[in-house]
A and B are shown apart, each in its own frame.
Chain A
Amino acid sequence: MTTSYNTLATLAIKQSWREARAFTVLFFALLVAVASSSTVGFFAERLHLAMTSKASEFLGADLVVSGTADATEEQLSLAHSLGLTGTHTVEFSTMLASQEEMVLANIKAITADYPLKGELRSQSALQASETTKYTLEAGHIWLEASLFDRLQLTPGDTVEVGATHLTASRILSHEPAQAGSGMGAFQPLALIHQDDLSATQAVQAGSRIFYRYLWLGDATAISKYQQQVAPLLLPQQRVQTLEDASPPLFQTLNKAQQYLNLTSLVAVLLASVGIALSATHFAQNRLQQAALLRCFGLSRRQTLSLFMLQLLLVGALAASLGAVIGWGAQKALFYMLADLLPQWIPEATLSTGLFSVGIGLLILFCFALPPLLALGRVPPMHVLRQEAAPLPTQAWIIYALALLGLTLTMWQLSLNIGLTLLLLTGGLATAFLLGVAVYGLLALLNQRLSSHLSWRLSLGHLLQTPLLAISQLLAFALIMLAMSLVVLLRNELLENWQQQLPKDAPNHFAFNIMPHEQAGFAQQLNQISSNVSPYYPMAPGRLTHVNGIPIKTYLPDNSPAERTVQRDLNLTWTQTLPQGNQIISGQWWPSQSELAPISVEDKLAKRLQLTLGDKVTFNLGGQPLESQVANIRSVDWGLVQPNFFIIFAPGYLEALPHTWLASFYVNSGRTAELHALRQKYPAVSLLNVKTVLTQLQSIMAQVSLAIESLLIFVLIAGFMVLLAGIQTTLSSRIQQSALLRSLGTKRSFIQRLHVMEFASLGAASGILAWIATELTSFALYRWAFEIPWQPHPWLCLLPLAGALLICGVGMLGTRRVAVTSPIQILHHSN
C-alpha cells in the first residue's frame, strides 16, 4: 500500500483546513449542540453541588448519629478509621432563670468546631445585623431572641443554668441543625460550651440527654460509614443523612434535577437532529470526492478513514470549543445568580466537560456513519458514469444502532431509563405514525392543488423525495415538540411547586397559648399575618396500655418506640382532618363509638404495632382514658404547621388543662409588631422557622431563573438545526431556481414558491408537534412527574408558529438562492 495512515492523518488535517468552508454547517451544529448540552451539564452539576451543600448546612454535617445514648467506642473508631472528621453536641432540657423569670429551654452544649457545615449566626442586639464572626466561648451562653424576651434579659446579663451561672452574651439568630431537633422541638434553644457542661450538673444518671455526633467526609466514606455503622447502632440511636434532613428540600431538589435532565435531553435530541442533518449533507457532498480518491488509488478503507479522520478532527475541535463555551456560559449564569447563591460554589468538574464532548462526538459518528459507509460503496466508475450511485442498503440497521446509542446517551445523561424510554419510544412511535399520516395529507393536498402551477412546483419539490420530506418533517416536528415541552414543563412545574410552597407559607409557630388568651392573641395576630393555620388545642398525655397490656411488657426490649412512650405525647382533638394529612385506613370519626376514637400517625402505628380497633389507654393528668384506634393517617411533616401523632375525636379531652398551638406567616419586615405581640402575651412562645423556608424559596428562585436561561439555549439550538436542515436542500433548490429563472420566471415567483413550501412544511410539522406534545406531556405528567394533566389549548398555535418560524428561517437560509444569478449557477462545473 502506497499511502500510510500517517499520510492519511496529515492529509486529513490539511484537507479539513482547506475545506473549512464546506465544514461550517457541521462545525456550528456540533458547536451549538455541545455548548448547550454542556452548559446544562455544568450548570446542573454545580447547582446540584450548591444545593446539596446547602442541604448539608441544614444538617450541620454530612451525616449525624443521634439518640438518647452516647456513641459507643466502636462507632467512634469506625468513623476515625474511615477518615471522617467529627464533633458532637449534648442536648438536654433545663430551666433557665434570670432575676425575674424562669423558662424551660432546650440547651445544646457545643465545641468550637460546631457546626461542621453551615454557620452559627448571632446578634449583639435585636436590631443589630447578623454575623458569623463570633464563636461561643466557655462561660457564655447564647439564647434565642424569645428567651431574652421571656427572661427579660439584655445581652451581657447573667443567667442561671442548672447549678451554674453563665453570661448571656449574644442573641442566637441561626443554628443549622435546628430542623428535626432531637427533643423539646417546641422549646426555645440556647447554646453553651461543653466545658461548662459538668458545672450545670444537668447530665446525671437518669436525666434525659440527647447526643448528636456530626460527621463530615467525602461521599464514599460517608456512605461506607452509613452502611457499616448500622449494625453497631444502639436501639436509642438513629442515623440522619442529607436525604432525611429535609424531605421538602429534597423533593424540590429532585424535581429541579429532573427538569434540568429533561432540558439536557432536549438539547441532546436537538443536537442529534442537527448533527444528523449536517452529517448527511457532509456525506452527500463527498460523493464525487470519494469516487475521485478511489481513482487516485485509495482503497475503500483508506477513503473512509480519510473522511472519518476529517470528521473526527473537525468534530473534536467543535466539541471542545463548545465545551469551553458551555463552561463560560455556565459561569455567566452563576454570576447572574450570585445574589441568590452561597458565596462559594464548588467548581464544575472536567469529567462533565469531557462527557459532553464525548457525547457530541458519539452523536456525530452515530449519524455520520450510515451516509459515510454508503460513500464507501461508491464505485470508482462514478466519475465516468454519474448514475452509478450507491444504494445505502444497510442504512436502517445502522440507524437503529444510532438510535440505540442515542438512547444510551440520554439514559446516561438523565440516569433515568424510564424517562428516556418514555420520551424516546413515545416520541418516535407517535412521530412516525403521525409523520406518515401528515405525508398522506400533503400528498392529497398536492393532488387537489396540482392544477395550480405554483402549488405543484412547491409541494412537488417536497414530495419528489418522500423519505427526505418525511425525515425533514419529523426533524422540524421534533424541534417544536422539544421546545414546547420545555416551555410547558417550565410553567406547570413551577406552578406546581408554587402551590406546594405558597409565598406566605407559615414561618412561625406560636404555642403555649392559654385558652383565655386565645381569642385576643388570634385577633392581634390576624393583623400582622396573612396566613394563620387553624388553632389546635394541645394536652399532654402518656400512653400506658395497649389492649390492656402495660406498655412496658407490650413493647419488645429495646423497641424504637420506647422513646416515644417514655414521655408525654402531645394530644389534640379536631373535627376536620388537618391539611397535609391523609387517611390510610379506617374512618375519620365514626358516627358511633363506645370508646374515645383516636387517629394514629402511620409510622407511630407501625412502631407500636397498632391496627384498627386496638384499644389504647392514656394517662391524662392522673386519670386513665381508654380509646380505640379509629383510623391511621399519613402526615406531611415537611409542612410548617401543627402536626400530631395522635388526634382524638372531639368531645373527650375538652375538660383537660390544655394550651393552643398555631403556625403563621409573618414577613421579615414586621419584627416590631411581632415584638409587640410577644410583649403582650409573654407566656406564649413564638418560634421562628425561617431558615427552612427561605432556603426552599431561594432554591426555587434559582431553579426558575436557571430554567429560563436554559430555554434560550434550546431556542438557539433549535434555530441552528432548522438552518442546517434547510442547508441540506440548498443546492437542489439553487438548481431548480436556476432552471426556472432561465425559463424566464421572476425572482418573486421563486420566493413565493419557497414561502409556500416552507409554510406547508412548517404547518404540517406544527400539527405533528401539537399532537406529539400533548401525548408526551400526558405520559410525562402521569408517570414521571406525577402531576395532574390537562389539555393545553394554546398548543393549537403550533401549526401557525411552525409555519412562521420555518418560513422565516427558510427564507433566511435560502436568500442566496434568489440572489444568485442564473449565469453564476451555469458556471458551476459539476
Chain B
Amino acid sequence: MQKPILVAKRVGKSVPLNGEALTILKDISLTVHQGESLAIVGRSGSGKSTLLGLLAGLDTPSSGSILLARQKLEQLNEDERAAVRAQHVGFVFQSFQLLNSLTALENVMLPIELKQMPNARIQATELLKRVGLSHRLTHYPTQLSGGEQQRVAIARAFAAEPSILFADEPTGNLDHATGNMVTQLLFDLNKEAGTTLVLVTHDPNLAARCQQQISLEAGKIQ
C-alpha cells in the first residue's frame, strides 16, 4: 500500500453572500494515494470546482483540514501554498487556459523554466511529440482546435513533473472522440510518470476509468 498524497477531513466551505453565510461544501472527507486516480462527479453547481480548488490549495477551507503532499494546507499562508503547488501540483482546465501570446512550445516551456529545470526546449518538444503535436510547435493557441489546445495544456501540466494533477472537466469542451483521446492521454501519462490524478468530470466514461469516485450533491458527498 502506498502513502496517501491527498487527505481531506470534514472539509467545509462557506462564503458570505448578502450578509449571510452561503454553504457551498459540507463535511467532505477523502483520501487519495500516490499514483491513484479520483473522479469527482455531480450536477452543475454542486461544488465540484470549489472542492478541486480547495484540494489543490488554490483557496482555503472554512472548516476541516487538507493534507497535500504531507503539508497541512490550512496552516499555510498563500505564499507557502504557492510553494507547495510549485513543487507538487499540475493543472488542466476545462477552458484550456493557454496564454494566447505564446506559441504551443512556449506555453509548455513556461512551467519548466519557472522550476529552473534544464533543457526546457528539448523537454517541451518531447512532451508535445508525446501528445501528437510535434508539427504544431510554433503555432499560437488561436491557430489550434479545441482538442489540440487541450493536448497542449496536458503537455504543459506534465512538463513540471507534478506528483499530483488536478483537472477540471478536461473533456468538457471537446467532442466525444476527441474527449476519449485526451482521456487516454491523461491515463497513459499517469501510468508512465506515476502521477496522481484528481478529475472533475461529467463524463461517465472518464469517471469509470478512475479507481475512486465521489459524487457531490448540494455540496455533500452522496
Once the chains are docked, how many angstroms separate the CA of A1 from the CA of B115? 10
Are A3 and B116 within 8 A (Cβ)? yes
Stretch from B26-34, B92-100, B185-193 at the A interface:
B92-100
Are A2 and B53 within 8 A (Cβ)? no
Once the chains are docked, how many angstroms separate the CA of A289 from the CA of B141? 14
Once the chains are docked, how many angstroms separate the CA of A383 from the CA of B89? 15
Are B100 and A7 within 8 A (Cβ)? no
Are A3 and B141 within 8 A (Cβ)? no
Chain A, range 536-590, C-beta contacts under 8 Å to B: none
Stretch from A11-19, A594-602, A801-809 at the B interface:
A11-19
Check if B214 is an interface residue, CB within 8 A of chain A.
no
Once the chains are docked, how many angstroms separate the CA of A4 from the CA of B110? 15
Nearest-CB distance from A15 to chain B (Å)? 8
Are A297 and B82 within 8 A (Cβ)? yes
Are A297 and B53 within 8 A (Cβ)? no
Nearest-CB distance from A285 to chain B (Å)? 8
Provide the B56-88 mask, 1 if CB < 8 A to any CB of A, else 0.
101100000000000000000011001111110
Partner of B115, one of A3, A380, A384: A3
Check if B101 is an interface residue, CB within 8 A of chain A.
yes
Partner of A829, one of B79, B113, B141: B141
Chain A residues with Cβ below 8 Å from B79 are: 299-301
Minimum CB distance partner of A285 in chain B: B101
Are A2 and B116 within 8 A (Cβ)? yes
Q: Given A7-B114, A22-B101, A384–B86 Cβ distance below 8 Å?
A: no
Check if A830 is an interface residue, CB within 8 A of chain B.
yes
Check if B155 is an interface residue, CB within 8 A of chain A.
no
Are A379 and B142 within 8 A (Cβ)? no
Minimum CB distance partner of B48 in chain A: A384
Nearest-CB distance from B36 to chain A (Å)? 22
Chain A, range 275-305, C-beta contacts under 8 Å to B: 288-289, 292-301
Check if B146 is an interface residue, CB within 8 A of chain A.
yes
Provide the A763-775 mask, 1 if CB < 8 A to any CB of B, else 0.
0000000000000
Chain A residues with Cβ below 8 Å from B86 are: 2-3, 296-298
Are B142 and A827 within 8 A (Cβ)? yes
Provide the B142-178 mask, 1 if CB < 8 A to any CB of A, else 0.
1000100100000000001000000010000000000
Check if A828 is an interface residue, CB within 8 A of chain B.
yes
Q: Given A7-B113, A379-B58, A384–B93 Cβ distance below 8 Å?
A: yes
Once the chains are docked, how many angstroms separate the CA of A209 from the CA of B8? 105
Are B78 and A299 within 8 A (Cβ)? yes
Once the chains are docked, how many angstroms separate the CA of A623 from the CA of B32? 125
Once the chains are docked, how many angstroms separate the CA of A381 from the CA of B51? 11
A295, A383, A385: which has the most chain B beta carbons within 10 Å?
Answer: A295
Are A828 and B85 within 8 A (Cβ)? no
A3, A21, A384, A829: which has the most chain B beta carbons within 10 Å?
Answer: A384
Are B115 and A292 within 8 A (Cβ)? no
Once the chains are docked, how many angstroms separate the CA of A335 from the CA of B53? 65
- Count of A interface residues, CB-CB < 8 Å: 34
Q: Given A381-B59, A384-B53, A2–B83 Cβ distance below 8 Å?
A: yes
Chain A residues with Cβ below 8 Å from B93 are: 383-384
Minimum CB distance partner of A386 in chain B: B95
Chain B residues with Cβ below 8 Å from A828 are: 100, 142
Once the chains are docked, how many angstroms separate the CA of A380 from the CA of B91? 12
Once the chains are docked, how many angstroms separate the CA of A485 from the CA of B88? 60
Once the chains are docked, how many angstroms separate the CA of A300 from the CA of B82? 9
Nearest-CB distance from B170 to chain A (Å)? 13
Minimum CB distance partner of B84 in chain A: A297
Classify chain B's interface size. 35 or more
Q: Given A297-B84, A298-B82, A828-B142, A11–B114 Cβ distance below 8 Å?
A: yes
Q: Given A295-B85, A380-B58, A381-B53, A3–B114 Cβ distance below 8 Å?
A: yes
Check if B137 is an interface residue, CB within 8 A of chain A.
no
Check if B215 is an interface residue, CB within 8 A of chain A.
no
Are A297 and B87 within 8 A (Cβ)? yes
Are A829 and B96 within 8 A (Cβ)? yes
Are B97 and A383 within 8 A (Cβ)? yes
Are B78 and A296 within 8 A (Cβ)? no
Nearest-CB distance from A673 to chain B (Å)? 76
Are A294 and B99 within 8 A (Cβ)? no
Are A296 and B111 within 8 A (Cβ)? yes
Minimum CB distance partner of B91 in chain A: A295
Are A298 and B114 within 8 A (Cβ)? yes
Minimum CB distance partner of B146 in chain A: A829
Chain B residues with Cβ below 8 Å from A381 are: 53, 58-59
Chain A residues with Cβ below 8 Å from B91 are: 295, 383
Are B78 and A297 within 8 A (Cβ)? no
A7, A294, A830: which has the most chain B beta carbons within 10 Å?
Answer: A830
Chain B residues with Cβ below 8 Å from A7 are: 113-114, 116
Once the chains are docked, how many angstroms separate the CA of A298 from the CA of B50? 21
Chain A residues with Cβ below 8 Å from B99 are: 288-289, 292
Chain B residues with Cβ below 8 Å from A4 are: 116
Partner of B113, one of A11, A22, A292, A299: A11
Chain A residues with Cβ below 8 Å from B50 are: 384-385
Are B83 and A384 within 8 A (Cβ)? no
Minimum CB distance partner of B115 in chain A: A2
Partner of A14, one of B84, B103, B113: B113
29 residue pairs from A and B, CB less than 8 Å apart: A1-B83, A3-B114, A7-B114, A10-B113, A11-B113, A11-B114, A18-B103, A19-B101, A288-B97, A289-B99, A292-B99, A293-B114, A295-B91, A296-B160, A297-B83, A297-B87, A299-B79, A299-B82, A299-B83, A300-B78, A300-B79, A380-B59, A383-B93, A384-B53, A385-B49, A828-B142, A829-B96, A829-B100, A829-B149
15 additional contacts, CB 8 Å, given A298-B86, A385-B53?
A2-B87, A3-B86, A3-B114, A18-B106, A288-B97, A289-B99, A294-B82, A295-B56, A296-B110, A296-B114, A297-B83, A380-B59, A383-B91, A384-B93, A829-B149
A interface, CB within 8 angstroms of B: 1-4, 7, 10-11, 14, 18-19, 21-22, 288-289, 292-301, 379-381, 383-385, 827-830
10 tightest Cβ-Cβ pairs between the two chains A and B = A297-B86, A297-B85, A299-B79, A19-B101, A380-B58, A22-B101, A384-B49, A299-B82, A2-B86, A381-B58
